[in-house]
Copies of this chain bind each other. A is one copy, B any other.
Amino acid sequence: MVKKTMAESTITPRSEDYNRWYLDVIREAELAENSPVRGCMVIRPYGYAIWEAIQSGLDRRFKETGHQNAYFPMFIPHSFIAKETEHIEGFSPELALVTKGGGKDLDEALVVRPTSETIIGHTFARWVRSYRDLPLLINQWANVVRWEMRTRPFLRTMEFLWQEGHTAHTTEKEAMEETLQMLGVYEEMARDDAAIPVIPGEKSEIERFAGAVNTYTIEAMMGNGWALQSGTSHYLGDKFARAFEIQYTDDNNKLQYAHTTSWGVSTRFVGAVIMAHGDDQGLRLPPKMAPIQVAIVPLWRKNKEEAEVMGLANQVFQTLKNAGIRVKMDDRTHLSPGFKFNDWEMRGVPLRIEIGPRDVKQNAVVVARRHLPGKEGKIFGVAVESLGTKIPELLQEVHDGLYNQALAFREENTHTGFEDLESFTQATQDKGGFLKVHWAGTSEDETKVKEDLKFTIRCYPNADQGGPAGRCFYTGKETNRVAIFARAY
């Protein structure tokens, strides 16, 4: 049995209170903390390193698909935001305004960007003249501000970090292909880097981005069965092109409006990583995103054992470092081994290597895998000379294990077969999770379901459309549109 220690006892078990567990993990693993500015958080180094992993995985994929980074002003004239009708309606209640600068009142208030379609639309109009200037494939890494009243670390903060892609194309077809391509990039990053299975699909009308024609999303299931919108990609039609006059002359010398897209993933995704994988012991980090992939805990009691144990531990450390693995030596002397084991488990480190006097004799180590609990996760007698190849394999095993566990959990908690409101209502109370149903309701119907049951349409999953018709649980109509309802953050 694992010895009880301070590190363990300060985290509320996940099963007991999911929301407290989430906040406990963020505090104890030193991912983030509240700041003196209401709704803004400080992202601590361990949390920021996860964001850096998300960034590098996305940035590489953006560049591979032909996008370039650029930077646009954070301040946007208020008149710009107002140019696209739906956009200003959607964002108006959330704006932060700079009204004074350099000691003077400003003539026109500057909006701190909540998103950059308007300032970038204005700029694109200057850059685009002919069809030869298209497509324009731009991404920006930036901070944005939305005046949120109820905030939660990573999931919803007033200021957050994100990337926002903005592209312009000659045709609707090409712009739609781009929209879906970037949704695919997000899906791939979630699967291959974060070990999170996501459901790509389209948002319903009421969940659409303010000013979009179509909004697509990747939806992930968290450990409590709730959904988290983890990235979105918007087809904007020619709405912003008309508002900002992004026009090009086509090959017949005719003036045309461009078709634009935008797409974003934010620090919210760090929340997805925490909640998709964490367990009662704390974090479980996907190896590709883990700031520390392997923690080495040397174990010795008698002073004469120290030299030989530390000798092997240092050798292992160097081997792994040379293999490009992010490895940490835990040589803290004022903490017990039990405390250290729990500490690294709580921090979600994928692999822990234990080295004691007996291991030195065998020239082998014990490796504990974070995705399997207790004894089950331990491998004894792993030969030291095999570590350079064995550890990368085990990291991949942890990645796959986390992915498969998350997928199995989602499948267990996805329910179907609801053809009337009563059975659906019952499921929202008894089962939770994702309720996959046929849906022929209106936006008003959807709003009513939300008000009554707190379940919302997360998306119309791309993979489930176009199948056989079924009965809508709400309207009773036959339809082949499939929707996933869930509680959501």
Spell out A's residues near B (CB within 8 Å). 33, 35-37, 40-45, 48-49, 51-52, 68-77, 80, 92-103, 109-110, 112, 119, 122-123, 126, 138, 142-143, 145, 147, 149, 158-159, 161
Write out the residue numbers on chain B whose beta carbons fall within 8 Å of the beta carbon of A96: 75, 98, 100-102, 110
Q: Report the separation of the CA atoms of residues A36 and B125 in the bound assembly, to the nearest whole angstrom.
A: 13
Q: Report the separation of the CA atoms of residues A72 and B40 in the bound assembly, to the nearest whole angstrom.
A: 8
Are A93 and B103 in contact, with the CB atoms below 8 A? Answer: yes
Write out the residue numbers on chain B whose beta carbons fall within 8 Å of the beta carbon of A99: 97-100
Q: Report the separation of the CA atoms of residues A97 and B75 in the bound assembly, to the nearest whole angstrom.
A: 12
| Known interface pairs A71-B48, A71-B161, A94-B102; A77-B37 also in contact (CB < 8 Å) | yes
Are A35 and B100 in contact, with the CB atoms below 8 A? Answer: no
Q: List 16 A-B contacts (CB under 8 A).
A: A33-B126, A35-B72, A35-B119, A37-B73, A41-B73, A42-B70, A42-B71, A42-B72, A42-B73, A42-B123, A44-B70, A49-B68, A52-B69, A73-B159, A74-B159, A75-B145
Are B138 and A45 in contact, with the CB atoms below 8 A? Answer: yes
| Known interface pairs A97-B98, A97-B101, A149-B102; A36-B112 also in contact (CB < 8 Å) | no
Write out the residue numbers on chain B whose beta carbons fall within 8 Å of the beta carbon of A70: 42-45, 48
Q: Report the separation of the CA atoms of residues A161 and B143 in the bound assembly, to the nearest whole angstrom.
A: 11
Are B68 and A43 in contact, with the CB atoms below 8 A? Answer: no
Are A109 and B103 in contact, with the CB atoms below 8 A? Answer: no
| Distance to closest chain B CB from A108 (angstroms) | 10
Q: Report the separation of the CA atoms of residues A102 and B109 in the bound assembly, to the nearest whole angstrom.
A: 14
Write out the residue numbers on chain B whose beta carbons fall within 8 Å of the beta carbon of A158: 75
Q: Report the separation of the CA atoms of residues A73 and B160 in the bound assembly, to the nearest whole angstrom.
A: 9
Q: Report the separation of the CA atoms of residues A80 and B36 in the bound assembly, to the nearest whole angstrom.
A: 10
Write out the residue numbers on chain B whose beta carbons fall within 8 Å of the beta carbon of A95: 100-103
Chain B residue, CB-CB nearest to A148: B102
Write out the residue numbers on chain B whose beta carbons fall within 8 Å of the beta carbon of A37: 73, 75-77, 110, 119
Given contacts A37-B110, A98-B99, 11 further A-B contacts (CB under 8 A): A36-B77, A42-B70, A43-B72, A48-B71, A49-B69, A95-B103, A96-B98, A96-B110, A97-B100, A102-B149, A112-B112
Are B97 and A112 in contact, with the CB atoms below 8 A? Answer: no
Name the residue among A44, A109, A161 with the largest chain B CB count within 10 angstroms. Answer: A44
| Known interface pairs A36-B77, A37-B77, A75-B159; A102-B98 also in contact (CB < 8 Å) | no
| Distance to closest chain B CB from A155 (angstroms) | 16
Name the residue among A33, A101, A161 with the largest chain B CB count within 10 angstroms. Answer: A101
| Distance to closest chain B CB from A28 (angstroms) | 14
Interface residue from B102, B122, B161 paired with A93 (Cβ < 8 Å): B102
Write out the residue numbers on chain B whose beta carbons fall within 8 Å of the beta carbon of A126: 33
Q: Report the separation of the CA atoms of residues A119 and B34 in the bound assembly, to the nearest whole angstrom.
A: 12
Interface residue from B43, B69, B147 paired with A102 (Cβ < 8 Å): B147
Interface residue from B71, B80, B143 paired with A43 (Cβ < 8 Å): B71
